[in-house]
Amino acid sequence: EAGVTQFPSHSVIEKGQTVTLRCDPISGHDNLYWYRRVMGKEIKFLLHFVKESKQDESGMPNNRFLAERTGGTYSTLKVQPAELEDSGVYFCASSLRHKETQYFGPGTRLLVL
């Protein structure tokens, strides 16, 4: 069974540009989460989808970040326009049901110059 996959693995962009990150959860997992680790600090929650609905988006830093999960399968996280402080590793995770183990992808390393 394939795990959580993320694309791209790395992205280097200039300040002001747009970047879109993609996450494919484990097949059948209704719950999808985005997390971010900035500058070696703790990994922080961004948001949680249940199928295509946003269950909790309390961790989204500002309106430059837009997450979607059309059809309840894969999800995208778009940053527009990117700022220097957005650099970090963006992790996606999925779980089968509420409050079950979250399985993480390898992350996307974003560098904003």
Binding site for other proteins (CB under 8 A): 4, 31, 33, 35, 41-45, 48, 55-56, 58-59, 91, 93, 98-99, 101-107
Long-range contacts for 56-61 (Cβ within 8 Å, ≥24 apart)? Answer: none
- Indicate the residue among 56 and 85 with the shorter CB distance to other proteins: 56
Lookup result for tokens 């509420």: 98
CA-nearest of 48, 53, 2 to 24 is 2
Least Å from the CB of residue 14 to other proteins: 25
Roughly how many angstroms between the first and final C-alpha of the chain, as a whole number? 37
Rounded to whole angstroms, the Cα distance separating 110 from 54 reads 23
Tokens of 51: 């199928």
- Indicate the residue among 33 and 82 with the shorter CB distance to other proteins: 33
- Indicate the residue among 17 and 37 with the shorter CB distance to other proteins: 37
Least Å from the CB of residue 16 to other proteins: 29
- Indicate the residue among 65 and 91 with the shorter CB distance to other proteins: 91
Rounded to 5 degrees, φ, ψ at 54 are -80, 115
Least Å from the CB of residue 45 to other proteins: 4
